[in-house]
Structures are given as C-alpha cells and as structure tokens.
C-alpha cells in the first residue's frame, strides 16, 4: 500500500507558517503517543527556524504507559521540553502555559532591556491531521473555537486564538509531508487515523496491527477475538499465510460471514482497525524508541 496524502491546503498551510514564523515566540508540537516518531513532521525543523519548542505527547490514554515513559525520556535526552497530555479530558494541559512562559523568558528579557513592554507569548501549535490539536486548543481557550471531528483534514485555515491574558495561539491545519520515505511511516499514520480513509486498504493495516500485537501484545489480541492458540511469527514468507488464516479465524469469531459461509475479509479488517482506534484492543503503542 503506497500511501501519500498531501492536499492543496496542506501545501498552503506550510507556506503560510513559514511566512508567519517571525511573529512566533515558541512552537508547540503535538504528536500521537501511540506513534511518537512517525507523527513528527520532518518539515517542522525547516519551518520553525530554531524557535524554542514544547513537545506534547497527546492521546496518552490510548498508548502503552511504559512505552510513553520511554518516549518521554528519549525526547528529553535529546534536549526537548516534553509534556504528557490528554486533550480529551485535560490531563496535563494546565502546565502548558507555564512551560511556554519559561521557554520565552529570554525573549521577554531582551524586550525589557530595550525598554519595550513584552507582549503575550505567541505560540504556533502544529501537528499532523487528527492528532487532537483542535480539542487541545478548545481546552486551553476554555471554549469551543476550533472545529473538531474524528477524521483528518477538518482544519483548513489558520486563526489566532487568545488563551487568557498570557498566551496567543496560532492554530494551523494538520499537515503531512509530500512523501513518506519509509513505507512503515505511512502504515503507522494510516493505522491511527491521520490519513483520509478513502485511500486506505484496511486489510493491509489489519495485518500490520496483528503482527505488532503478536510481537508485543498477544494477550489483548487473544482476549478481544477469542483466540485460544496464537501462532508465532516466523519472519519469512510463511507469515503472510499465517496472517490470512488468523484474519479468517477472527472473521468467523466475529460473525463476519458472507453467503456460503465465506469470511468477509474487508469487513473483518475494518473491525480490527476500528477496534484499535477506539481502544477496544487496549493501550497499544505501535513504535518504540531506538
């Protein structure tokens, strides 16, 4: 499955962010805790031009807590300020404004030394589609300002949003990048809902999720789909046949049958993907720090 999704509004958003970066004091980068590396846009470094950065690991309620802790340590060891947040219930979000203020201390000092009164902190908030930016912005602003939907590509234009008296946020559309160099990156983004569904092959995504669970999350997989005997991955071409047989078993156990008693593989695969996205398979992280 060759996944690429870079509609016109994303290209426009990147261009507009590059034009407005001079007005920005700090960048808030929001990533998905389930795929912390794959959900970091490689264009960000190019866009932010060395601005102070706050990294937020969002959707922590959907990820493996041990893996999330490992990712937080990994990013902090690389010099980033990191917070764990859940934009849905507000967990961890109260500390964001304080961290932004600390990251802009040098800017305020320079302004005061020149005799200027510092303006509120101006933060650019960015992230991939469907990572939870709009939910987070509404949480910080204390009211519904940004549009929210459980699909990527809802925000298509920039807007400034006031957060109390100390911070202003520049909301931006979720942007991907023109080409995924590693096909696995596209698969991770597809599995978590960052890519438009019309482009997806649910069977390939389901196979990817099953393989990941066979390696690290075998018990939740067996429990969810009533599997009594899980196979071991071989690491060779036999794994493809193994995936097909396992998908067929899951389809039978879930009643995904067509006429003649044949398993509906497409329907079965979509159930697995949606179970993952809705946390019915548990708290699963799909990639670990190296």
Provide the terminal-to-terminal Cα distance of the chain, rounded to the nearest Å.
25
Domain span at 232: 201-277
- In this structure, the answer to whether residues 212 and 135 fall within a common structural domain is no
Tell me which of 156, 171, 186 is where a domain ends. Answer: 171
Residue 253 lies in a domain: yes
Q: What is the pLDDT of residue 67?
A: 98
Residue 22 lies in a domain: yes
Which residues sit opposite 163 in a β-bridge?
167
Q: Which residue has the higher pLDDT, 4 or 153?
A: 4
Residue 35 near residue 192, CB atoms below 8 Å: yes
Q: What is the pLDDT of residue 148?
A: 47
Tell me which of 149, 171, 193 is where a domain ends. Answer: 171
Q: Cβ-count burial of 155 within 10 angstroms (0-12 exposed, 13-18 middle, 19+ buried)?
A: buried
Alpha-helical runs (H) found in the chain: 8-20, 44-48, 65-77, 96-103, 105-113, 133-141, 183-192, 202-216, 218-225, 238-253, 265-277
- In this structure, the answer to whether residues 206 and 137 fall within a common structural domain is no
Residue 188 lies in a domain: no
- In this structure, the answer to whether residues 217 and 121 fall within a common structural domain is no
DSSP state of 257: B
Between strands 121-127 and 26-32, the pairing is: parallel
- In this structure, the answer to whether residues 126 and 250 fall within a common structural domain is no
pLDDT at 2 over 50: yes
Domain harbouring 34, CATH code: 3.40.50.300
Domain harbouring 251, CATH code: 1.10.1580.10
- In this structure, the answer to whether residues 164 and 209 fall within a common structural domain is no
The predicted model gives 73-81 an average pLDDT of 96
Tell me which of 171, 193, 227 is where a domain ends. Answer: 171
pLDDT in tens, 160-207: 888 878 889 888 777 776 567 788 988 999 999 988 888 789 999 999
- In this structure, the answer to whether residues 71 and 141 fall within a common structural domain is yes
Residue 176 lies in a domain: no
- In this structure, the answer to whether residues 160 and 71 fall within a common structural domain is yes
The predicted model gives 51-80 an average pLDDT of 96
Q: What is the pLDDT of residue 149?
A: 46
Q: Which residue has the higher pLDDT, 154 or 89?
A: 89
pLDDT in tens, 87-133: 999 999 999 999 999 999 888 888 888 888 888 899 988 888 889 98
In this structure, of 41-45, 123-127, 131-135, 137-141, the range with the lowest mean pLDDT score is 41-45
The predicted model gives 236-256 an average pLDDT of 91
pLDDT at 257 over 90: yes
- In this structure, the answer to whether residues 16 and 124 fall within a common structural domain is yes
Q: What is the pLDDT of residue 133?
A: 87
- In this structure, the answer to whether residues 92 and 162 fall within a common structural domain is yes
CA-CA distance, 19 to 152, in Å (whole number)?
24
Provide the pLDDT confidence category of residue 42 given band limits of 50, 70 and 90.
confident
Residue 30 lies in a domain: yes
Q: What is the number of other CB atoms lying within 10 angstroms of the CB of residue 119?
A: 12
pLDDT at 5 over 60: no
Q: How many domains does the chain have?
A: 2
Q: What is the number of other CB atoms lying within 10 angstroms of the CB of residue 115?
A: 6
């Amino acid at each position: 499955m060759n996944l690429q999704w870079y509609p016109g509004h994303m290209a426009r958003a990147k261009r507009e962010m590059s034009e407005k970066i001079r007005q920005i004091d700090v960048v808030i980068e929001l990533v998905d805790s389930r795929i912390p590396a794959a959900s970091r846009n490689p264009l960000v470094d190019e866009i932010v031009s060395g601005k102070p950065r706050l990294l937020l690991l969002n959707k922590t309620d959907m990820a493996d807590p041990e893996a999330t802790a490992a990712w937080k340590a990994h990013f902090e060891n690389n010099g980033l300020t990191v917070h764990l947040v859940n934009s849905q219930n507000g967990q961890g979000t109260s500390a964001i404004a304080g961290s932004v203020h600390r990251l802009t201390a040098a800017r305020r000092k320079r302004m005061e030394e020149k005799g200027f009164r510092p303006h509120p902190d101006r933060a650019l908030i960015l992230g991939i589609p469907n990572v939870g930016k709009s939910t987070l912005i509404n949480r910080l602003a204390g009211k519904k300002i940004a549009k929210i939907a459980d699909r990527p590509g809802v925000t298509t234009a920039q807007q400034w949003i006031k957060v109390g008296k100390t911070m202003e946020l520049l909301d931006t559309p979720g942007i991907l990048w023109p080409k995924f160099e590693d096909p696995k990156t596209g698969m991770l983004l597809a599995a978590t809902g960052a890519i438009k569904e019309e482009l997806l092959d649910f069977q390939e995504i389901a196979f990817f999720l099953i393989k990941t669970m066979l390696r690290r999350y075998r018990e939740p997989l067996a429990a969810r789909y009533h599997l009594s005997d899980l196979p071991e991955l071989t690491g060779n071409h036999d794994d493809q046949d193994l995936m097909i047989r396992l998908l067929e078993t899951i389809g039978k156990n879930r009643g995904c049958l067509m006429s003649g008693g044949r398993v509906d593989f497409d329907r079965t695969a979509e159930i697995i993907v949606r179970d993952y996205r809705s946390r019915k398979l548990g708290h699963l992280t799909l990639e670990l720090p190296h």
